[in-house]
Amino acid sequence: MSVLAACGVTQAADYAVLAATSNTYSNYRHQADVAHAYQVLKEGGIPEDNIITFMYDDIANARQNPFPGKLFNAPTPKGTPGRDVYAGVKIDYKSTDVSAANFLSVLKGDAAAMKGKGTGRVLKSTKKDRVFVNIVDHGAPGMVAFPHTTLYKEDLQSALEYMHENNMYKQLVFYLEACESGSMFEDLPTNISVYATTAANAKESSWGTYCGSDAKVDGKSLNTCLGDLYSVNWMQNADSQNLQTETLETQYTKVKQLTTRSHVMQFGAIDAITPEPAANFEGSETRNVTHVVAQAGSASEKVASRDIPVHTLFTAYLNAPSEKRAEAAAELVAEITAREEADARFERIAKIAAAGRQVTVGAALKHRDCHRAADTAVAQYCGGYSDYSRRHVRTMIDVCEAIGGDATSVVDAIRAVC
């Protein structure tokens, strides 16, 4: 029990929702990040019963994982075992239960919608409580990817407004790790007591860290990236600082300085919430600093998020024993070929849909119905976006804007090409 609780003071950071919303081994870092976040909150004194966790849970026991049943969010030299952040993590929603609709239902406390799914747990916070939310995943302008569905900016912000209107929190803090993550909180109201920070602005990639030759634990290579730069930076800060004296603004400033490959952003009720101690949302107990490692800000190898799958396969090829080298090479070539085919496919779609009209790169997203229709059509006819081809969400947005939101033309082009 914390000193605050012993003195009869209501402890802050009462509830949390954590979500690693990707799958496959190349996305190791996302599940490792969320597992680490779980440990940060648990060590900070937030009751496990108040932490709801989404994780596809296909990495810890994946065939590629040289440490079965374990996840690491930072490297260690040979002779040092490393910290297994997966140990003790209680996962509420796995596999296909990791969906955008389920995530929103949990936020809104909709127990009926979650009946028969995972543990069925939803937020039960009140107007007296503080809520911390952390998503780690792939993104694109105006969206965050789930394994088989999409979380759109409008739906997320609508859920946050619903929570505010229904007195589900006193203050809510949201940390989002994804490419173009800043796009999810543009126009976030400042009067609903929500503060958000993101790994990147609305137009750039987020970055993985502890990649390649740095992705080693006890001297053994994991052939992937162990973490995401923004996420690792905020959690290593939380592990090592007195969060009762460090404010959210101070943590944001430190993380922004360390996250050198993208622009860390902040949105919402900045002036009202950032002076709060970080302990109010990340837990107030004293941490076990024996597992703290050096910050990842400048020393480790980093890779742009959408290049990590090919980087992972290239690293696996370099580290493969001679009898496995041909198989590893084939997997690498297949990934490169798939990337080239995706680029060509979306170039053809854009050309057909635009029909000779000028397409402006980076156009403002105004025709949202066209954008959603294109996203649905890509899922239906092209098998969805890959981690790499999600860069072409921007292509589809630019085309929609160029043709005045004519969704039929875009859908017809997608159907014709795919």
- Shared domain check, 335 and 213: no
**CATH number of the domain enclosing 47:** 3.40.50.1460
Q: Is residue 382 part of a domain?
A: yes
CA 249 – CA 56 distance, rounded (Å): 32
Q: pLDDT by residue (tens digit) across 65-116?
A: 999 999 999 999 999 999 999 999 999 999 999 999 999 999 999 999 999 9
Note the pLDDT of residue 391. Answer: 96
**Mean local confidence (pLDDT), 271-288:** 90
**Mean pLDDT within 291-319:** 82
In order of 317, 318, 325, 327, 328, the CA distances from 322 in angstroms are: 10, 10, 5, 10, 10
16 and 84 inside one domain: yes
Q: How far apart are CA 71 and CA 87, in angstroms?
A: 8
- Listed residue (214, 238, 218, 239) closest to 226, CA to CA: 214
Q: C-alpha 309: how far from its chain's center?
A: 16
Tell me the pLDDT tens digit for each residue of 231-244. Answer: 999 999 999 999 99
Is 341 domain-assigned? yes
Of 303, 328, 347, the last residue of a domain is 303
Looking at the structure, tell me whether residues 287 and 385 fall in a common domain: no
Arithmetic mean of pLDDT, 2-17: 57
Domain ranges, residue 106: 3-303
Mark whether 209 and 357 lie in a shared domain.
Answer: no
Mean pLDDT score, 359-378: 95
pLDDT classification of 12: cutoffs 50, 70, 90: very low
The whole-chain average pLDDT of the chain stands at 93
CA dihedral 217, 221, 227, 232 (to 10 degrees): 30
The letter for the amino acid at 387 is D
In terms of domains, do 280 and 409 share one?
A: no
C-alpha–C-alpha distance, residues 154 and 168, integer Å: 19
The reply to whether 352 falls in a domain is yes
* Nearest CA among 267, 281, 285 for reference residue 191: 267
Active-site annotation, residues: 138, 179
In this structure, the answer to whether residues 32 and 122 fall within a common structural domain is yes
Same-domain pairing of 201 and 341: no
Contact 52, 106 (CB under 8 A): yes
Residues 146 and 216 in one domain: yes
With a cut of 80, say whether residue 360 has pLDDT above it.
Answer: yes
| Structural domain contains residue 313 | no
Q: What is the pLDDT of residue 17?
A: 98
Please list, in sequence order, all residues whose beta carbon lies within 8 angstroms of the beta carbon of residue 272, skipping any fewer than 6 positions away. Answer: 171, 193, 195
Sign of the four-CA dihedral 187, 190, 194, 196? positive
Mean of pLDDT values over 294-308: 76
- Give the residue from 254, 276, 303 where a domain finishes: 303
CATH number for position 330? 1.10.132
Q: pLDDT digit string (tens) for 334-347?
A: 999 999 999 999 99
> Do 86 and 52 sit in the same domain of this protein?
yes
Are residues 340 and 286 located together in one domain of the fold? no
The yes-or-no verdict on residue 367 having pLDDT over 80 is yes
Answer with the residue of higher pLDDT: 128 or 11. 128
Work out the pLDDT band at 126, boundaries 50, 70, 90: very high
In the chain, the largest separation of any two C-alpha atoms, in whole Å, equals 70
Domain count for the chain = 2
Q: How far lies 184's CA from each of 33, 207, 355, 392, in Å? A: 20, 17, 30, 17
Q: Region 33-61: what's the mean pLDDT? A: 97
Residues 247 and 176 in one domain: yes
Residue 381 sits in the same domain as residue 283: no
Question: Is 311 within the bounds of a domain?
Answer: no
